[in-house]
Structure 1
């Protein structure tokens, strides 16, 4: 049985962890230190009562770890305790492969909130969206769980099913059954839409910068002098490694500050600057963001916006502007502790405000309106002829892009890919607006140069 001597030993051990905080000096610290001793004695008393009188026997390790989890989780949604397994999982995630559903989550009003689903993962395929609230896991209510407990329940072996109860906006909760899988993240994907290069960054892990450089080189080789600009898609990107966010920003910047961090201590105040050299040679750039763009995504969008390097299009980002430092605890795991805030080059804090787009464009479904064929000048009786030779831009003299072999398998494949890209732009209104914006900018610039 745990006695007062045991409580005293526990308190003494805890005090030994942070002697600097309890050291007395001549500056009036004695009273503050005495209060700290009293609070730690209170903890020891509670620990003793729970250990001795709780209805079931609980190990000392569980009690202490639970106390640590509670202490950290009460600070903010992103500070937490990682046991050995959690710490290992976190390290695997930053390397780009891990097990689970494929969602980035946080805690909001006692419920698990989806920051964003990761592309091509079980959660994304099941229709989970940024902003969804998970209110139940396999029939168990989430209210009352810590974030770590909820995440632990969502983990499991590959191929096993989990049923989430989801609340979306003001609608009634509904259930979604998802099959767990090993999540292998391709952090950067790319394609072209006509003469516009499209780069999608899904997360910021160790593979992101090499992947970005490879995709930009590929697009540049494919389009050559026809390249009109790039769309950098950061929608539903939950963030990741700070160093990768800095590196991605540096890819498009030639100089200047990328981000600064400011904390409680001067040692937490740091500024990160771009190195000389823009990999895209200043090509026009549009950055797409939405409410699922968080943390590292916001650093990139904020840096490119503040430097006037890109136009930011979409909706306001998530607003996670805090820095978490991972502090290993030898033999136990680690703690994730919020130690600073992020600031954009203009000095604006991202925290709780996010990045506001230059052009606010909500995702929408666009349908053509059929008004019928209207009469034109050429339809009027006695209308004057155009007066120019040929039939103009749309005349019969227009070149046939498909050439003589338009019926070949290669041409049919090209037509099918073109149709798929057209359908993609029809379905993704924000992307369509971004591509049109780039084409409009380059067209305008070329005409200004001609004149």
Structure 2
């Protein structure tokens, strides 16, 4: 999902009289915003406004004088894939996603080897209830072949269906299966938690929305209460987390840090350059932390992982993350019913690393097979409660975390 990330302190640019909202695009799509289409028409005033913002605020200085103002398609092709013009409906969807709700079927998808592959489904969503599974490949929507279609086209087909029954055909284990479901408004539960063994706990973040910080704090306090005292350690699972709001990533990082930089952003205009610093107070009182990531952990998830890793507060376990290290700003166009989502900065971890295109490298590298032993859905369903070997692996990593930074804290 291309999702909305609001800075904890909105960037007020007095010169342009606009409010900039820092955003980081989420990679997995619950909904999809297409790149500006050649059929989109703009008034001369709109075209001038868009070109002005790109020339003034885009992270790279582009020579725009060569482009014709009435045709912005070529201009957008020179920008990164996260910079887009958003229509009124897309803008509304963006705000809904930031608040943890949207209307859809609840699938997370990615284009892999020219096929649209379902990464997973949201808990309680129409897709989960219909039996769609992670790994399914989309074949058809309402009998229309989508094997050679992109995510934007598929999103349009799903929206076109409105609230009517949708027939989704997927490929699974070399056979095809057609399932019936309906789009509906979904409230995205971004946090799940449970106690493990040895007074350790597990918390999973599905995404970072405007409620995630309060949800994480509430879950941790509940875990401490159910444990009857302080936790001995915490596993934070960010696998398959595509990102979300910047303010949420910063605030959640701050929950576990006594001091230190959380993240910095750097761009061409003054307000794009910011440093976020942790305030005193650690909700776990120094108990060791393990952060689980994989190649689908992106943007805000990478901010949290990088902040805890660079501040020597947690060890990161898993496979290298996606590498989405740019920051977008949401700039209203015209009367504010549409907007320009524009990359205005890149973010850097506390040690000064840019992870854009590189990702977060784990302290302990696990293969996909190794990570599968810590299946997220199995943990969330409590299916590991009787599997001491797998729970012991989580305990071992928490011991590793404690030993890893014992001499550094």
Q: Same fold (TM over 0.5)?
A: yes
In 2, Cα distance between the equivalents of 1:268 and 1:206? 21
CA 1:238/1:19 → structure 2, altered by over 3 Å: closer, same or farther?
A: closer
Map of 1:191 onto structure 2: 194
Map of 2:49 onto structure 1: 17
CA 1:222/1:267 → structure 2, altered by over 3 Å: closer, same or farther?
A: same
Kept after mapping to 2: 8 A contact 1:193/1:421? no
Q: 180, 184, 204: which is aligned to 1:181?
A: 184
Q: 227, 230, 241: which is aligned to 1:223?
A: 227
In 1, Cα distance between the equivalents of 2:260 and 2:384? 39
Q: 281, 285, 292: which is aligned to 2:289?
A: 285
CA 1:82/1:73 → structure 2, altered by over 3 Å: closer, same or farther?
A: farther
SS at match of 2:215: helix
Map of 2:345 onto structure 1: 340
Map of 1:94 onto structure 2: 98
In 2, Cα distance between the equivalents of 1:92 and 1:287? 28
Q: 261, 270, 275: which is aligned to 1:271?
A: 275
In 2, Cα distance between the equivalents of 1:134 and 1:246? 35
Larger Rg: 1
1:10-409 superposed matches below 5 A: 13=45, 16-17=48-49, 36=66, 39-40=67-68, 68=72, 71-72=75-76, 75-105=79-109, 112=116, 117-123=121-127, 126-129=131-134, 134=138, 136-142=140-146, 147-155=151-159, 156-158=161-163, 160-165=165-170, 174=176, 177=179, 179=181, 180-194=183-197, 195-225=199-229, 227-331=231-335, 332-361=337-366, 362-364=368-370
Q: For residues 67-87 of structure 1, what are the alpha-carbon distances to aligned partners after superposition, in whole Å with 9 as ceiling and x for unaligned?
A: 656753663332222211111
> Alpha-carbon deviation of 1:352?
1.8
In 2, Cα distance between the equivalents of 1:355 and 1:196? 25
Kept after mapping to 2: 8 A contact 1:254/1:278? yes
CA 1:226/1:290 → structure 2, altered by over 3 Å: closer, same or farther?
A: same
SS at match of 2:228: helix
What RMSD, in angstroms, separates the aligned Cα atoms of the two structures? 3.8
Map of 1:438 onto structure 2: 398
User: Which structure's residues are more often helix, by fraction?
Assistant: 1
CA 1:22/1:86 → structure 2, altered by over 3 Å: closer, same or farther?
A: closer
SS at match of 1:351: coil
Tell me the matched-pair count.
344
CA 1:174/1:324 → structure 2, altered by over 3 Å: closer, same or farther?
A: farther
> Alpha-carbon deviation of 1:343?
1.4
In 2, Cα distance between the equivalents of 1:183 and 1:427? 35
- The normalised TM-score by structure 2 is 0.71
CA 1:17/1:206 → structure 2, altered by over 3 Å: closer, same or farther?
A: closer
- The normalised TM-score by structure 1 is 0.65
Kept after mapping to 2: 8 A contact 1:235/1:290? yes
In 2, Cα distance between the equivalents of 1:70 and 1:165? 35
Kept after mapping to 2: 8 A contact 1:237/1:293? yes
Kept after mapping to 2: 8 A contact 1:231/1:435? no
Map of 1:384 onto structure 2: none
Kept after mapping to 1: 8 A contact 2:235/2:289? yes
In 2, Cα distance between the equivalents of 1:153 and 1:188? 30
> Alpha-carbon deviation of 1:322?
1.6
CA 1:196/1:147 → structure 2, altered by over 3 Å: closer, same or farther?
A: same
Map of 1:423 onto structure 2: 384
> Alpha-carbon deviation of 1:138?
3.9
Kept after mapping to 1: 8 A contact 2:264/2:273? yes
In 2, Cα distance between the equivalents of 1:341 and 1:300? 15
- Runs of 5+ unmatched residues, structure 1: 1-9, 24-31, 45-66, 367-417
SS at match of 1:423: coil
> Alpha-carbon deviation of 1:266?
4.1
- Runs of 5+ unmatched residues, structure 2: 1-41, 56-62, 374-378
Map of 2:31 onto structure 1: none
Query: Which protein has greater RCO, CA pairs closer than 8 Å, 6+ apart?
Result: 2
> Alpha-carbon deviation of 1:329?
1.8
CA 1:164/1:241 → structure 2, altered by over 3 Å: closer, same or farther?
A: farther
